[in-house]
Amino acid sequence: MTLLSVLGVLSSAVFSGTSLLYTTLGEICGQRSGIVNLGLEGVLLVSASAGFAVTVLTGSPYMGVLVAALVGGLMNMILGYLTITRGANQLASGLALMFFGFGLSAWIGRAYVGARIIGLPRFALPGLSELPILYRSLFQFDLLIYLSVPVAILVWWVLFRTRWGLGVRAVGESADTAFASGRNPRLIRYQALFVGGLLAGLGAAHLSIAYAMNWTEYMTAGRGFIAVALVIFSKWHPIRAIAGALLFSGAVAFQLLLQSSGIQVSPFLLDTIPYLVTIVVLVAWGGTRRHSAPASLGRVYQGSE
Amino acid sequence: MQPRPDPANRAKSIGARAISGLLRYGSMIIMAFLLFGVILLISGNSPIGSYSDLFSSTLGSARGFSEVLVAMTPMLLTALAVALPSRIGLINVGVEGQLYMGACFATWGALTLSELPSWILLPAMALLGMIGGALWSLVPGVLRARGLVNETITTLLLNPVAPMIVSFFVFGYWHSPMDTNKTANFAPSARLPTFFDTRVDLSLVVGLVLLGLFWFVMKSTRWGLEMRAIGGNPQAAVRNGIPYRTYVISVLCIGGAVAGLAGMAQVSGFYGVLLANFSRGTGFMGFLISWLAGGNPFGIVVTSFAVAIITSGGNMLQLTRDLPYAVINILLAFTLFVVLARPRFYPRRKAA
Amino acid sequence: MISLRGISKAFPGVVANDGIDLDIHQSEIHAILGENGAGKSTLMKILYGFYRADSGRIFLDGRPFSVHSPNDALAAHIGMVFQDFTLIPAFSVAENIGLFLRDLSPVISLKDVGRRIQEISSRYTLAVDPGARVSELSIGEQQKVEILKLLISDARLLILDEPTRVLAPHEVEALLGTLASLRADGYAIVLITHKLREVLGCADRITVLRHGRVSGSLLRKDADETRLLKLMFGKELPRLEFGGRAPVEANLPALELRGVSTTAEGAETALKNVDLRIYPGEIVGVAGVSGSGQRELADLILGIKACASGSKFMFGEQVTRDSVRSLRDRGVCFVPENPLVMASVPFMSVLENMALTRTRRYARLGGLRFDWHAVNEDFLQSSSALGFSLPTHALARSLSGGNLQRMVIVRETAHLPRLMIASYLTRGLDAQSTIAARSALLRARENGAGVLLISEDLEELFTVSDRIVVLRGGCIVASSKPDETDVFRVGHLMTGSEQQDAASA
């Protein structure tokens, strides 16, 4: 187990974890305002396919990223319309959105299966260019990866240090109280969902444009649900989500590490660890009553007459 | 003497209500079809042609109709797996995982007990399937009964774990010599008998029987009353002495068992082999069907049938319209969206 | 300052406000008096923008004023403290107050907010720690936060909805003192309440509402108890005759708790080493400030909460580990405060609700069939014994609060219970239903049951109980007969303040 292999694991975790982090940050925004999005998988797929298609058509990965983010925001608006304006059940709406995403992404991406793109350029930060080639190649990250931690900090700052963020959290705790304070809970939820969708779209963009650099059906492989688990695991806190994303996506990389030490563990079993750990952690914290879920999560806001 | 609502409250007879229900459903479905027609147009296909293909391939022939029944069967069971816990206010989104575990356990039975004759093997596999599914919902049930973790979260989290376990076995110990992503074909004794020349197997009958049993239990028995009380007001039910915890655990386990049975039916009846990632949302579809039908057994049958027409008709997309099969999900989703966007038609949501 | 003219508001099934006229002046405490359900809260919620009136107009300083949301009310310097508080438990005091500040900067500084809090809180003796999480504050402190919230956001009109409901007598005095200083500084205060004595103690002007209409408006100097009662009820309040009966202590106690302690989860209060005996034919009243452990005590006796240590006996038999069902089989019954939420299933009929406590008894064929005939008979028998008449097939949720409570009482007393737990059973009930509920208690006592009465209404406890115990912080700190003590002594025991006398035996 050399330094190189350890760094390799870290590097690989960072690569695969970035899209997870963005997605999780987006879901944190949504859940903090009280809305659960079970259709994240669908949102990710549509954003990934759209971003990829635009990249192929325009040749510019940056355009692709932009479009993916916007598409993510729009997909979330569908969930918003159903749950906020029509007052529909959040779980059912989310799942419907998921199926929609399955279909729409397949439709958008059908002409682009097997297409190749340049992808987001990777570069090392200036200070690291003196490292030997092997090491340097591990730290060639793309723009989205470099921005991921700053974005997480930004999300934290917005939620906890701005007036808007206070309102979002208030709506998630008690929409009636937020209303009594002169706010419009419905509008705030829409806003939080849109921002959340933008972030999820960035996550999807990283997956299809920067990491895998292709498009296949169902390529998100459950990231939408991993993100939901990760939101819980990081207690709805953006900064904790950073560590969580690394941990969760480290599973595969961890397997490589074990392999290089001669231990063979099935990658499938390793992939189950994030979920099982989250359940264990939930129980260890004393259950759902104690952990800091927004108090109004999942409830339909009826408004007052 | 049965308790019945005040006669003044029964505004319409059952017949009139059914008709107005059909009209409502019908208009929503038509709207969804119109929306999907737009997508078809953009892809350069004629909506009318596509839809006539869809209906003729499903309802226009005996074979097509039997395929609809085949698609409908797992939905009946998965929807029941959600509907039963929903009556006591529990949200079971883990049907996908319970399905896989049932399939896994049943496959073990098929592979290791393949010498047994069919009339012993099949019930054994069914039992194994139910045990597998029940085990998968046991932990969520216990955690919920102890008031520790909401079952929505635990069942949701356990969902992705089950297919991974299945993949572990399929790619590992059980893989067939020819393909890595599935097991060897099941022996004929391990296959569910089918009707006539179709692919409709016994599990359709089992599903309908179980739904009928569900209806009877909820309506007439003591347990149905107690469950309805828990579903109506858990706090009051507890204070009245109804054993809440016992119900939570057993009902979730029964739900899991039914889902496991669906899984067993999938591998033993439909596929005849255990395939990695064989289910793309069947469990979630069951959740949606149960929710749409309000946890009502009759509604489940009708809704499953309608959804099955769409999904099995979607095959025509691939064959005749050069669109990937997954695109049919858009039509499905539009139907769901349209229904979700009109909550005033569904006054009492008991599921979820 | 503010005038309301012709305000009307109806909800499905009930007219809450009917053509109400009201004037509110600066530097004045205006009390809106009326019994539960008279429409007081609704009226003020309309003024605050939480509801919209069906008709009527509001004038602010002589000009027409339209309010569509709390935003408008806050902009017009109107603030309201709701009965259940609009606080977010997970937030700190500063965050809660910051939420309601109209001039909060986009980038918030909690320190700034904290500073402003300190400024105002010292002026009116409303001291509170800005950084504390609201979930960790006592109810009295939370109320202070609520008032601070209004003051900091520059409200000039303060509306308080039943502020003293959850306070002990001397805390009430402190609050009224604060209100007096606020009045001296020019604030207009509207006090919604149903407590006559407080109104007579502090209000300058009193408006009485009855059944959604104004039945009278008078100045303090023209008001006295009898006049107000007449305006509130339109007739003399019927006096309930309580026949005292000496409980026979020689019997085994219906309930005995020995050294019982429980563990607290979340916002609960842990019971510590509780010893309690209730004999058949006696009513034991439990007094205490909200959150002293009353709910936990009721839940413990009913079997919902487990004893962490100590034991529970019924008629001498150990029942410490019995389930709710087996305790009910032994004759325990429970009448709670909010029948719709706590004791009945809303969408089930009255008859179905009736069957819930004894499902095993009514089941036939091992559970496959149900004997509704027997349920009906028991129902008719019990309700006629109590003199109630209820429709068997109506859905529970369509019943009024009073009728719902009657239904629960019919069910709970149907099988001659041996121990009755009545927890705030008259809360929120109209006068007639309150009388009916109290007579049901007495009737149960006559039939030989031991009754535990938990109530926040000291007057109720003193008139009905044979013995009163005081619960504070999960411990029983005193136990005495009503005629050996008085309301203020009990009030001080409830809060543990300095003037507490040595507790009588």
What one-letter code names the amino acid at A70?
L
Pairing assessment for the beta strands C14-24 and A122-123 based on DSSP bridges: unpaired
The reply to whether C209 and C87 lie within a common domain is yes
Q: Are C396 and C407 in contact (CB under 8 A)?
A: yes
- Which CATH number covers residue C264? 3.40.50.300
CB C501, CB C492: distance < 8 Å: yes
Distance, in Å, from the CA atom of C468 to the CA atom of C476, rounded to the nearest integer, reads: 10
Residues of B in contact with C352 (CB under 8 A): 3, 225
A-chain residue closest to B340, CA distance: A88
**Chain C: closest CA distance from residue A184 (Å):** 9
ipTM: 0.87
Least CB–CB distance from B349: residue in A89, A218, A289: A89
Task: Indicate yes or no: CB of C99 within 8 angstroms of CB of A170.
Answer: yes
Angle at A35 between CA A228 and CA C102, to 5 degrees: 130
Contacts of C341 in chain B (CB under 8 A): 233, 235-236
CB of B236 within 8 Å of any CB in chain C? yes
What pLDDT does C358 receive? 86
Backbone conformation region of residue C262, classed left if phi is above 0, alpha if psi is from -120 to 50, else beta: beta
- pLDDT score of C334 more than 90: yes
Residue C248 lies in a domain: no
What is the rounded distance in angstroms from the CA atom of residue A273 to the CA atom of residue A281?
A: 12
Q: Which residue has the higher pLDDT, B72 or C37?
A: B72
Yes or no, beta carbons of B157 and A226 under 8 Å apart: no
| Residues C133 and C185 reside in one and the same domain | yes
Same domain, C20 and C107: yes
- Does residue C33 sit in the same domain as residue C137? yes
How many Cα atoms are found within 13 Å in the side-chain-facing hemisphere of C71? 8
- Nearest CB among B43, B168, B292 relative to A266 is that of B168
Higher pLDDT, B270 or B128: B128
Cβ <8 Å between C302 and B6? no
Query: Among C325, C344, C370, whose Cβ lies nearest the Cβ of B225?
Result: C370
CA dihedral B250, B251, B252, B255 (to 10 degrees): 120
Select the residue from C328, C337, C358, C359 to test the B interface by mutation, using most B Cβ atoms within 10 A.
Answer: C359
Give CA angle at A144 (A138, A146), nearest 5°. Answer: 55
A287 and C CB contact within 8 Å: no
Q: Do C349 and B240 touch (CB under 8 A)?
A: no
pLDDT of residue B211: 95
Q: Mark yes or no for CB contact A164/C106 under 8 Å.
A: yes
C247 within some domain: no
Per the structure, the complete domain to which residue C371 belongs is given by 255-495
Query: Residue written as tokens 């429409």?
Result: C39
Minimum-distance CB partner of A166 among C50, C69, C99: C99
Point out the residue among A106, A268, A283 whose CB comes nearest to the CB of B143: A283
Would residue C244 count as lying in a domain?
no
Kind of pairing between the strands at C317-318 and A122-123? unpaired
Given a contact cutoff of 8 angstroms between Cβ atoms, the answer to whether C279 and C248 are in contact is: yes
User: How far is residue A25 CA from its own chain's centroid?
Assistant: 6
CB contact under 8 A, C349 and B241: no
Higher-pLDDT residue of A30 and C239 is A30
B284 in contact with A, Cβ within 8 Å: yes
C201 near B CB under 8 A:
no
* E strand or H helix that includes residue C112: helix C110-123
- Name chain B contacts of C357, Cβ cutoff 8 Å: 240-241
* Mean pLDDT in residue range C219-223: 84
pLDDT exceeds cutoff 60 at B101: yes
pLDDT > 60? residue C227: yes
Interchain contact C52–A (C-beta under 8 A): yes
User: Is residue C501 situated within a structural domain?
Assistant: no
pLDDT above 70: residue C238: no
Let me know: does A102 contact B281? Beta carbons within 8 Å: yes
pLDDT for res B272: 85
User: Is residue C321 included in any domain, yes or no?
Assistant: yes
CATH no. of A3-113+144-284: 1.10.3470
- How many contacts (CB atoms, under 8 Å) link B and C? 97
Mean pLDDT of all residues belonging to chain B:
85
Identify whether the C-beta of residue A244 lies closer than 8 Å to the C-beta of residue A233: yes
Calculate how close chain B gets to C64, using CA atoms only, in Å. 37
Bridge pairing between strands C283-287 and C450-454: parallel
Residues B247-270, mean pLDDT to the nearest whole number: 94
Q: Tell whether C214 and C293 lie within a shared domain.
A: no
The verdict on A78 touching B (C-beta cutoff 8 Å) is: yes
Which of B171, B329, B331, B342 has the highest number of chain A CBs within 10 A, making it the mutation to test binding with A? B329
Question: Cα–Cα distance between A82 and A86 in angstroms, integer?
Answer: 5
| Nearest-angstrom CA–CA distance, B261 and B181 | 22
Integer angstrom CA distances of residue C176 from A90, A223, B201, C23: 46, 58, 77, 21
Q: What pLDDT, on a 0 to 100 scale, did the predictor assign at position C234?
A: 64
Res C37: pLDDT: 65
Enter the pTM of the model: 0.82
Interface touch C105/A163, C-beta < 8 Å: yes
- CB within 8 Å of B347: residues ≥ 6 apart: none
Identify whether residues C213 and C88 lie together within a single domain.
Answer: yes
Name the average pLDDT for chain C: 83
Q: Does residue C199 share a domain with residue C277?
A: no
pLDDT exceeds cutoff 70 at C501: no
- Distance from the Cα of C488 to chain A's closest Cα (Å) equals 35
Cβ(A173)–Cβ(A295) under 8 Å? yes
Q: How far apart are CA B258 and CA C466, in angstroms?
A: 56
Q: Are residues C455 and C313 in the same domain?
A: yes
| Interchain contact, C98 vs A180, CB within 8 Å | no
From first to last of its 305 residues, chain A has per-residue pLDDT tens of: 577 777 777 888 888 899 999 999 999 999 999 999 999 999 999 999 999 999 999 989 999 999 999 999 999 999 999 999 988 889 999 999 999 999 999 999 988 888 888 888 887 776 666 667 666 667 778 889 999 999 999 999 999 999 999 999 999 999 888 988 888 999 999 999 999 999 999 999 999 998 888 888 888 888 898 898 889 888 899 999 998 898 888 766 676 677 667 777 777 888 888 888 888 888 887 655 555 678 777 766 655 43
Q: Test C393 with B5 for CB contact under 8 angstroms.
A: yes
Closest partner residue to B330 among A93, A107, A217, by Cβ?
A: A107
The shortest CB-CB distance from A92 to any of B171, B331, B352 is to B352
Gap from C392 CA to chain B (nearest CA, Å): 8
* Domain count of the fold of chain C: 2
Tell me how far apart the alpha carbons of residues C44 and C49 are, in angstroms, rounded to a whole number.
Answer: 9
For residues C22 and C502, the model is more confident at C22
Contact C386, C443 (CB under 8 A): yes
pLDDT single digits (tens) C366-415: 878 888 888 999 999 888 888 888 888 888 888 888 888 999 999 999 88
Mind listing the pLDDT tens digit for each residue in C256-311?
A: 999 999 887 766 778 888 999 998 988 999 988 777 788 899 999 999 988 899 99
Alpha-carbon span C7 to C466, nearest angstrom: 46
Against chain B, the chains showing at least 3 CB pairs within 8 Å are: A, C
Using a CB-CB cut-off of 8 Å, the residues of chain C touching B1 are 372-373, 376
A25 vs C37, more confident: A25
CB nearest B3 (choices: C327, C329, C352): C352
CA distance B161 to chain A (A): 5
For residues C380 and C344, give the distance between their C-alpha atoms in angstroms, rounded to a whole number. 18
Q: What's the mean pLDDT in C178-193? A: 89
Residue B350 has pLDDT above 50, yes or no: no
B351 pLDDT higher than 50: no
The SS3 assignment for C30 reads: strand
Quick one: closest CA in B to A84, which residue? B341
Q: Which long-range contacts (CB under 8 A, 24 or more apart) does C144-150 make?
A: C145/C87, C145/C93, C145/C96, C145/C97, C146/C81, C146/C85, C146/C86, C146/C87, C147/C81, C147/C178, C148/C97, C148/C117, C148/C120, C148/C121, C149/C79, C149/C81, C149/C96, C149/C97, C149/C100, C150/C79, C150/C80, C150/C81, C150/C100
Contacting residues of A for B340, CB less than 8 Å apart: 82, 86, 88-89, 92-93, 96
Q: Kindly indicate the confidence band of residue B345, based on its pLDDT and cuts at 50, 70 and 90.
A: very low
Instruction: Judge: C395–B238 Cβ closer than 8 Å, yes or no.
Output: no
- Same domain? For C73 and C211 the reply is yes
| pLDDT for res B289 | 93
